[in-house]
């Protein structure tokens, strides 16, 4: 949910200018060096520095080492071919960012309408908020049954949805890292991620793919329950010129009112209907999903542009060696 808002806005906003960051970093280095000179000038007569000045000197020296390390990173990135290549692709990133945020809003609106339908028309938590048909239509619920009539368009769209969730989830995990409650375990850095973090990342992505099976039910309940199945209903037609009646069979989309011998419910729906507590948990999880998306959207809008080396200088997993060209 966070990646669905953070990824598009990061693509649209881009990163700060490397030259401007180097200028700021140089000014910080000069300021710290001036503080160090001021403190060292106090013991020209050979007297030892007070404990307070020693602590301040140690902090300034540590700060100076960090700034010089940052300067090396910025210089390397500014001269790398990868930075120039990314700069050339800036218009394409903006287009992709706009496309991703529109797709995110499509999913959010569809999920909200589906959850609202369950809240208004389901039998409550005892039934797992299961509904027998869609009372409030949403874009994906209308599109998927329509695409199912032309093989394999519905499979292509489902594949795109799954890949979109995986891609945005990886972007979200890369931004916030891997946490155990309030304890940060690992950071995800291109070319510098620890093997343990990669194992956690793979496990999280497997759980996301597993959850997508229910997410599609929430986004398109009609498609998951009945697909594009139709059943025939008899309709009486009266002809005025002949003053007679005739019976005509008219196809109708399968729903909760359809006869059981003409419409087959999918196994996924039967599983959720039988184990109602899973469906109830997913129902409340979807509301949490929507809440996290909105919170992430507000945070991403309020945050400024990212640094080209954000997270590098304070990352304990990274040595003081030459930075990776892909760190941007």
Q: What residue has token string 């990314």?
A: 86
C-beta of residue 322 within 8 angstroms of C-beta of residue 71: no
- pLDDT tens profile 183-209: 888 888 777 788 888 898 889 888 888
pLDDT of 320 over the 50 cut = no
Task: Average the pLDDT over each of 8-17, 24-33, 44-53, 140-149 and give the range with the smallest value.
Answer: 44-53
Using CA atoms, how far apart are residues 275 and 151, in angstroms rounded to an integer? Answer: 31
pLDDT of 326 over the 80 cut = no
Contacts of 290 (CB under 8 A, 6+ apart): 1, 108, 111, 112, 115
pLDDT for res 323: 45
Burial class (CB in 10 A: 0-12, 13-18, 19+), 155: exposed
DSSP letter for each residue of 265-291: --HHHHHHHHSHHHHHHHHHHHHHHHH
pLDDT of 316 over the 50 cut = no
DSSP β-bridge partners for residue 247:
236
pLDDT for res 153: 87
Q: pLDDT-derived band of residue 309, with 50, 70 and 90 as boundaries?
A: confident
66 vs 127, higher pLDDT? 66
C-beta of residue 230 within 8 angstroms of C-beta of residue 259: no
Mapped onto helix, strand or coil, the DSSP state of residue 183 is strand
- pLDDT tens profile 113-132: 888 888 887 777 777 777 76
Share of the chain above pLDDT 90, in %: 5
pLDDT for res 293: 92
Using CA atoms, how far apart are residues 277 and 129, in angstroms rounded to an integer? Answer: 9
- pLDDT tens profile 76-106: 887 778 777 877 888 898 999 999 999 999 8
Q: pLDDT-derived band of residue 246, with 50, 70 and 90 as boundaries?
A: low
C-beta of residue 187 within 8 angstroms of C-beta of residue 311: yes
Using CA atoms, how far apart are residues 102 and 297, in angstroms rounded to an integer? Answer: 13
pLDDT for res 122: 77
Task: Average the pLDDT over each of 16-25, 65-74, 200-209 and give the range with the smallest value.
Answer: 16-25
Using CA atoms, how far apart are residues 6 and 171, in angstroms rounded to an integer? Answer: 8
pLDDT of 319 over the 50 cut = no
240 vs 247, higher pLDDT? 247
pLDDT of 46 over the 70 cut = no
Q: Determine how many CB atoms are found less than 10 A away from the CB of residue 247.
A: 8
Q: pTM of this prediction? A: 0.74
């Amino acid at each position: 949910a966070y990646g669905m808002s953070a990824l598009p806005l990061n693509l649209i906003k881009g990163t700060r200018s490397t030259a401007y960051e180097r200028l700021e970093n140089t000014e910080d280095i000069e300021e710290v060096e001036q503080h160090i000179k001021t403190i060292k000038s106090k013991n020209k007569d050979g007297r030892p520095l007070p404990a307070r000045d020693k602590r301040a000197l140690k902090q300034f020296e540590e700060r100076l080492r960090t700034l010089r390390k940052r300067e090396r990173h910025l210089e390397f990135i500014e001269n790398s071919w990868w930075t120039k290549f990314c700069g050339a692709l800036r218009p394409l990133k903006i287009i992709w960012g706009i496309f991703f945020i529109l797709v995110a809003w499509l999913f959010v609106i569809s999920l909200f309408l589906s959850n609202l339908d369950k809240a208004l028309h389901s039998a409550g938590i005892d039934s797992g908020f299961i509904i027998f048909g869609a009372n409030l239509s949403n874009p994906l619920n209308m599109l998927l049954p329509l695409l199912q009539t032309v093989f394999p368009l519905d499979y292509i769209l489902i594949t795109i949805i799954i890949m979109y969730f995986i891609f945005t989830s990886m972007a979200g995990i890369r931004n916030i890292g891997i946490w155990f409650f309030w304890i940060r375990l690992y950071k995800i850095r291109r070319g510098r991620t620890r093997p343990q973090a990669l194992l956690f990342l793979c496990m999280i992505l497997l759980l996301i793919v597993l959850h997508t099976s229910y997410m599609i039910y929430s986004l398109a309940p009609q498609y998951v329950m009945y697909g594009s199945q139709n059943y025939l209903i008899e309709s009486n037609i009266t002809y005025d010129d002949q003053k007679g009646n005739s019976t005509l069979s008219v196809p109708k989309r399968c729903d909760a009112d359809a006869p059981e011998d003409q419409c087959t419910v999918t196994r996924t729906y039967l599983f959720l209907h039988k184990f109602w507590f899973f469906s109830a948990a997913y129902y409340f999880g979807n509301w949490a999903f929507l809440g996290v998306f909105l919170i992430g959207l507000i945070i991403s809008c309020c945050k400024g542009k990212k640094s080209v080396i954000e997270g590098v200088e304070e990352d304990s997993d990274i040595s003081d060696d030459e930075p990776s060209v892909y760190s941007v």
